[in-house]
Amino acid sequence: MNVNKHLRIGAWLIAGLGLFAAAQAQELVSNGGFELTSNGANKGVGAGSTLLTGWTATDGAYDFVFSDINASIPASPTALSLWNQTNGGGGQASNSPTGGNFYAFDPAVATPGPITQTLKNLQAGTYQVSFDWAVAQQYGYSSGTWGSWTVQLGSAAAQATATVNNPSRSFTGWMHETMTFTVGAGDAVLSFLGKGGPQGVPPFALLDSVSVVAVPEPSTYTLLLLGLAAVAAVARRKSRAGGPSTA
């Protein structure tokens, strides 16, 4: 029997196991894309609302779910649209990079509140939170605005995105953000609170594609690296044994 062949298969098996374990990073957020709603899109979400399946909104009044950056929200709590491609807005207003619905939040109200979801039975460890976000402005208002998102997971310290400036009647473009939080075992509240200003010229912080996955244990990577090293070693051995003389 070919010993090299057996070695090679063994090495690939180890590498494969490591890769499999690394790929098991399971999505922990439900409805992170805001596609599931109990009553459609292009609506106000509102305080205490569970319109967005899996999420609880605690904002005073001024948060919305859009299906399209160019959509107009009829009246709930007020008729509203964002500066966009159809009403003279600048800045290349665009839909979320992952498509479908997104959450829009006016952070410059009297009592802004976060949108939250409780992640159940987490193991103690480090978790990667990622999302897409942008800053827009309410149609009909002028003046430069600014915005950001503050994110919290469990009792870990809150983290914030950069604060970005959005020129009058404009749109910042979508940005992708990744953060890591280390939490203890048990339930953990995932919370997004938009920040922004100034008041009265409504800035809007947009959010989509929320994801939380466990960061793989170092042992997973060790297994993967061991396997790949073994594959390389077998290949080297084979090349030396069977290859033409390279002296």
In sequence order, which residues have a C-beta less than 8 Å from that of residue 192 and are 6 or more positions away?
Answer: 114, 115, 116, 131, 149, 150, 151, 207, 210
Min separation Cβ 32 and Ca ion, Å: 8
In eight-state DSSP terms, residue 120 is: E
Q: Quick one: CA dihedral 194, 68, 61, 34, positive or negative? A: negative
Beta carbon of residue 204, minimum distance to Ca ion (angstroms, whole number):
16
Report CA torsion sign: 237, 240, 241, 243: positive
CB of 166 to Ca ion, least distance (A): 21
Residue type, 237: R
Name the residue nearer to Ca ion (CB basis): 127 or 131.
Answer: 131
DSSP 160-213: E---EEE-TT-----EEEEEEEEE-SEEEEEEEEEEEE-TTS-EEEEEEEEEEE
CB of 101 to Ca ion, least distance (A): 5
Q: Which is nearer to Ca ion, 108 or 129 (CB)?
A: 129
- The smaller minimum CB distance to Ca ion, of residues 106 and 208, is found at 208
Question: Contact positions toward Ca ion, by CB under 5 A?
Answer: 33, 100-101, 208
Taking the complex as a whole, the smallest distance from the CB of residue 95 to Ca ion amounts, in Å, to 9
User: Which CB sits closer to Ca ion, 33 or 154?
Assistant: 33
Cβ proximity to Ca ion: between 35 and 217 the closer is 35
Cα 128 to Cα 7, 213, 221, 227: the distances in Å are: 36, 5, 16, 25
